[in-house]
Structure 1
């Protein structure tokens, strides 16, 4: 899977800096898809999928909630980063993605 961070790109002709996602690191994780829910919206519904990724700590040292994780082409926003309770060398990352229906 790919972990991405926001970087500033080249300035536009109007001298505005464009922000884009760039690969921060490729890492292996144990991925679990524990839940999903449907959130009704105005004239449409949103499907919110949550995944929990367990990484080896040293692979994601420096990870922050401003980054995102891409799994099989789907970007997931990082919502929480916490240490593994049963494994001292693990980092648990909870991520969500929103899809319109």
Structure 2
């Protein structure tokens, strides 16, 4: 069973693409450090202009372990403060999906 979490954001007016990408890269490094497999997407159809930051895990327990480690990591708290202060994006939605094997 695979698990994916995704965070959909829209750039704020005047938001700097380079800054958005920098924050996404930093976040990806933190998720990788704790066992996640992050990816960053540019939405081309539907909600065009939005971005999706997704993180895959092989199991639900791997996801839980990564979140526990991430929340205990001071670097993650520093990154969260940096992200909020930058004000480059607004969260549209967050999802977690669990694979149903067919």
Same fold (TM over 0.5): no
RCO higher in structure (CA 8 A, sep ≥6) = 2
TM-score of the aligned structures, taking structure 2 as reference length: 0.32
The structure carrying a bigger strand percent of its residues is 1
The structure carrying a bigger helix percent of its residues is 2
Larger Rg: 1
